[in-house]
Amino acid sequence: MSINGNGNAEFYSHQSDTGDTEGNDTTPLLSNGVQRSRARGASFASSVFNLMNAIMGSGILGLAYAMASTGIVGFCILLILVSSLAAYSIHLLLKLCDLTGINSYEELGGRALQKPGKVLVGIAIVIQNVGAMSSYLFILKSELPSAIAGFLSPDQSREAWFEDGRLLLIIVTLCVVLPLAILPKIGFLGYTSSLAFFFMLYFTIVVVVKKWSIPCPLPKNSTTSLGAYQVSNSSDLECTPRLFILSSRSAYAIPTMAFSFLCHTAVLPIYCELDRPTKTRMQKVTNVGIGLSFLVYLVSALFGYLTFYAHVESELLLGYDAYLPRDVMVTTVRLAILISVLLTVPLIHFPARKAVILLLRGDRPFSWLIHVAATVLILGVVLLLAIFVPDIRNVFGVVGSTTSSCLLFVFPGLFYLKISRQPFPSFDFIGALSLVVFGLIMGVISFSIIIFTWIQSSE
């Protein structure tokens, strides 16, 4: 099983002793330094499906806000740029995989930069997965009260204990997430990750359909139906989509996109799974998977923005509460997203805990005490972040501008420059160098603006 930073799991078959059927001699893959041959059996279509599961996560809920912060054309340009660079950085990882025979992101870091490289990648994966888990628990905190209230009458849900999202989050974490995460093996939950993609498609369909259910200018308040809304005095300008926007909020756009397209820790295991695994064939899987994810992201962000315009919430589903209370489609999509989140958090926790234990204890034998302590510690940190972080865009912004940019842009380019030793005039040398420079510049600028915005807000 392979689990990416967005919290999706992919399963790959047992290793086969046979080689490629296309007649290509490739370097045998290594797992933790042990040589093994590539796995066979996964079709092109199933590999695309696996990669899309790896790509699509909680970031889809923040892309409409990113469009409201950059404008439609600005968002499209940035989305094309980030998705193209993501595909190119995967191209570099695949070349390194064939060159070294390594199928682990951490091991590539070790090959490129020795132990510091392995530690850097491990830390980045821990922070990335902690950020992803925090974003998922944040969704539970914000959406679970509304989901419960949607199945009850207004009198039952008014001032009820379950309206406190933080209390619900603590209960769900202790009763559901912790017991699942503390298990030494949790492979059966990986099969549920295949539902995540269908949930994302359903989410996109609901966003498109509900575009025509909410009038513009947006209602100021409501009672129980659209007919009872009081329309605000907003001008028609509020209902005019903007093509380009540049503000302090725009600093969250690229980090959110980087967070949304990060699948690089899952790419190499999917490569191992692919039938007739060649770099060209896996690159086609990557291009198709990223292309389809791009379309889903673009459609959901566009119609989410055209529904709320400048009033888009940083977590899109929150915007429907005031205008479509107890709507059946919104309630069902909220429930689908919550089920996906609830089952995904334990899966994201596994690689984070593995990386923490590896960084602290190396390859020492399994210890239940260390296992339980690491589980409780990580979930405790994630729970505190989800409770006290006031806005999910902060998770997308900080994690996206730091670890996501490193795993997506900086590390693939840097590792390629260190391992391949390509001459300067070559296209991949220039491309890898550009990835490193772009990732560093984007990360530093975005993170600096986000911190500056926090300071201004506190003052």
All domains of the chain in start order, with CATH? 2-458 (1.20.1740.10)
Expressed in percent and rounded to 5, the helix, strand and coil fractions of the chain are 75, 5, 25
How far are the Cα atoms of 109, 197, 234 from residue 117, in angstroms, in the given order? 4, 33, 54
User: How high is the pLDDT of residue 432?
Assistant: 92
Per-residue pLDDT in tens (0 to 9) along the chain, 459 residues: 444 444 444 433 333 333 333 334 445 555 444 455 544 457 788 788 778 877 887 788 889 999 998 999 999 999 999 999 999 999 999 999 888 888 778 888 889 988 888 889 889 988 988 988 888 898 888 888 877 876 766 655 566 677 788 888 999 999 988 988 888 776 555 555 567 778 888 889 999 998 888 887 666 544 333 333 334 444 556 778 889 988 878 888 888 898 888 888 778 778 887 888 788 888 999 999 999 999 999 999 999 999 888 888 888 888 887 777 778 888 888 888 888 788 778 878 888 888 888 788 777 787 888 889 999 999 999 999 999 887 777 788 888 888 888 999 999 999 999 998 777 778 888 999 999 999 999 889 888 888 888 887 776
Query: What was the pLDDT predicted at 245?
Result: 87
CB 9 within 8 A of CB 189: yes
Specify the pLDDT at position 220.
59
List the Cα angle 112/120/440 in 5-degree steps. Answer: 85
CB atoms within 10 A of CB 350: 22
Give the torsion sign (CA, 231, 234, 237, 240). negative
Write down the pLDDT at residue 302.
94
Ordered DSSP codes for 178-209:
HHHHTSS--GGGGGGGHHHHHHHHHHHHHHHH
The rounded Cα 308 to chain-centroid distance in angstroms is 23
CA torsion through residues 192, 196, 198, 199, sign: positive
Q: Which residues pair with 219 in a beta bridge?
A: 231
pLDDT, residue 436, reads 93
Sign of CA dihedral 194, 330, 73, 257: negative
Query: Quick one: pLDDT at residue 157?
Result: 54
Question: Strands 9-10, 2-3: parallel, antiparallel or unpaired by DSSP?
Answer: antiparallel
- Mapped onto helix, strand or coil, the DSSP state of residue 227 is helix
Q: Which of 385, 375, 390, 383 is CA-nearest to residue 172?
A: 383
378 CB neighbour count, 10 Å cutoff: 21
**pLDDT at res. 188:** 57
Residue 236 has what pLDDT? 54
**Alpha carbon of 90 to those of 189, 263, 266: distances in Å?**
27, 9, 10
For position 271, what pLDDT does the model report?
Answer: 84
